[in-house]
Structure 1
């Protein structure tokens, strides 16, 4: 298998940063595949163009409003996206002779484009299932169940599973969910494709004392959260925990990220006058690596309203840098169960702040336990969750 088309909702410029998917594409390139990425332009007003970014061929297509805060503009942009992609492929005369078409969810609106390319190329189609939509939107009360919009997207979801030759799922609970709610799906398509990450790149020149001093973290136990701050994460779980830990003067909750709920969380921290929480916006990955390196505990939070089994990818960064994990998650994910099975941290049901604090205190009071759990997570990642593992899984399944 040589020619691969990767269809994406977004794709980073690897000259500036990396991501889950850019790491995977780089692994395909390293193994000799000819890969084309189909992705939006970062800026409006640009023309569709074929570019090479850090050795990766990308067809960048201008798409207005794709990440708008207005849900109607964003929704319309997602619906138009496959038409814009198809037009760009035709305009630039891209040969449709791919051996493999890969696409993650979200979004499912790219179904018709994937179908078109698959049929034209006589390619196999591999679906990387990272998001179960539209059910997640219903869980978060963004969409009403059984309405016209829900029915439209649900039909797209069913057709997408039918189109896929293979479907890579994040965890056993994801496989079980798809089987239960989509009984017509061929079960032989479904298999495990856990979230992946490259081996960690430690900053060997980091002066920890100097870096801690920069953010007022000297002589502090740091519990870090890094990632999106939106409805799926429900960061109120972490803020409530911080409120209940105000007596622990050497404990700091350090939150790094941005999202639709960032301003709301910032206002909540201010209104509660929490002195043990530091909230900053997203930083470049090299800077974020420094934050993780100097931290003591990695935080995970998921919205308790989820009925779908989400599986947070940020856990891999904590594993890679040997940080034990404290998780507040819904009861439908199997993340917490797997976390405790590998001995890499503790989990509590989202909303149960007493249980969450009790688990936090176990890590807070015991440096050796933190070290042991951090090492357990690292070994688990090294043996199961590297990008090369994901690559080999995809090739094995598709062949």
Structure 2
């Protein structure tokens, strides 16, 4: 098959932990011709080129990351027109059998529809963000305003033209059904977050070096790694850290990036949290090793969400064999997933006392931590592998 992936961003170097790249790599290894359409960014140049195993069409776009919401919104609105122009400029055939479109952004609807009509290909929607409702939940957009109605119309049309829609969880799938009754439910199926697993073996010297570098010797380390933005509401975690200051050996270690990173550091300083440490950015394969030397992995979601989100950073914790402590809203079914697989504990986001109680469950029971860590590793190996995601996609496409 000729496969195209419409990307909001795509690394130009092979990076462990990027689940879109691992899936496309699997398609390539099975003999399919893979083309990626993605923005040109630092380290890349516009135009068609070979990167790793893929044909990558890099397109000059407006910046989408590290900018305010107005600039980000404008960049996303222009994206389909810029991608379409770049595709039309190619002298070679640009017809595709399978068109991958992940969310975000939904603004690529027009491009996906154009490619489908042009190629008679199938659209596979990897549904991760449910937009624009998530923007409403976070106070970025007003419900029933003109922008909301525009994007909501785009969302509905995207569901209609998609031949298959992969949802993160049962709750995610039920949300789409409830709020979009016109959608053909046969399109909807489970496609949980996936990843390749990295080895955890380290020699004594490596372990010593990490412990010294991160200053975690004799500490009970609760670690967070990943995006820091409004969806994560990391202020809740800082409040937990302050509530744990009576536990002398507890350290909150935060590795992050994103729009709220600087604000979070300022908030931490303002609140005087002395048991919070910010780590420096690491390559993913090194970060996994740090994780494996920690005791608990943190998940944080804003209590304002009305849509079920499943945080992909949980995959890193599963891989590292550490249990999860989750501060989450009551609309996600991530807590149910933790309970069903016995991979962690959770409390309602914003309830610091309840979250500390759950932390104490893990703090006081090393055998439980080990059991939950092993459960997470086995769960990921059996249910959340790239191979599993690849088979799910192919099985769904065969129906059409």
TM-score normalized with structure 2 length: 0.96
- With 182-191 and 275-284 compared, the bigger mean Cα shift is at 275-284
Q: Residue 352 of structure 1 aligns with which residue?
A: 351
After superposition, the Cα gap between the structure-2 partners of 1:249 and 1:94, relative to the gap in structure 1 and judged at 3 Å, is farther
Aligned position for 1:387: 386
- Pairing partner for 1:70 from 50, 68, 71: 68
Structure 1 unaligned regions, length at least 5: none
**Cα distance in 2 for residues equivalent to 1:281 and 1:72:** 29
2:179 corresponds to 1:181: yes
Residue 298 of structure 2 aligns to a residue whose secondary structure is strand
Give the equivalent residue in structure 1 for 2:309.
Answer: 310
RMSD of aligned residue pairs (Cα, Å) = 1.4
1:203 Cα deviation after fit: 4.9
Structure 1 residue corresponding to 2:86, chosen from 73, 85, 88: 88
Farther off after superposition, 218-227 or 16-25 = 16-25
Report 1:1-399 matches (<5 A).
Answer: 2-15=1-14, 18-43=17-42, 48-205=46-203, 207-399=206-398
Q: How many aligned positions are there?
A: 397
Offset of residue 279 of structure 1:
1.4
1:68 and 1:242 mapped to 2: Cα distance? 27
1:326–1:360 CA contact under 8 A, matched in 2? yes
* Ranges in structure 2 where 5+ consecutive residues have no aligned partner: none
SS in structure 2 opposite 1:180? Answer: helix
Contact 2:102-2:127 within 8 A present in 1 as well: yes
Counterpart CA distance in 2 for 1:203 and 1:105 is 35
**Superposed displacement of residue 207, structure 1:** 2.2
C-alpha deviations, 1:22-41, integer Å up to 9, x for none?
11111111111110011001
State how far apart, in whole Å, the 2-side matches of 1:61 and 1:49 are: 7
SS at match of 2:73: helix
**Conserved in 2, the CA contact under 8 Å of 1:12 and 1:18?**
no
What's the CA shift string for 1:282-310, capped at 9, x where partnerless?
A: 32213312221211111000000000101
* Matched position secondary structure for 2:337: helix
8 Å Cα contact 1:5-1:37 kept in structure 2? yes
SS of residue paired to 2:93: coil
Q: Contact 2:214–2:279 (CA<8 Å) still a contact in 1?
A: no
Give the match's secondary structure for 2:232.
coil
Offset at residue 210 of structure 1 (A): 2.6
SS at match of 2:227: coil
Native 8 Å contact 2:299 2:324 kept in 1:
yes
SS in 1 for 2:34: strand
Change (3 A) 1:47 1:88: farther
TM-score by length of 1: 0.97
Give 1:68 shift: 4.6
Distance 2:45 2:262 in 1: 33
Mapped contact 1:257–1:283 kept (Cα < 8 A):
no
| Superposed displacement of residue 112, structure 1 | 0.5
Higher mean alpha-carbon deviation, 334-343 vs 206-215, is at 206-215
Moved more, 245-254 or 59-68: 59-68
**Contact 2:318–2:377 (CA<8 Å) still a contact in 1?**
yes
SS of match in other structure, 1:195: coil
Deviation at 1:140, TM superposition (A): 0.2
CA separation of 1:203/1:69 partners in 2, compared to 1, >3 Å: closer, same or farther? farther
**Following the alignment from structure 2 to structure 1, what is the Cα–Cα distance between the partners of residues 155 and 92?**
27
* Per-residue CA distance 1:129-173 (angstroms, 9 max, x = gap): 000000000000000111111110000000000010000000000
CA contact (8 A) 1:328 1:356 kept: yes
Q: Which runs of 4+ in 1 moved over 3 A?
A: 15-18
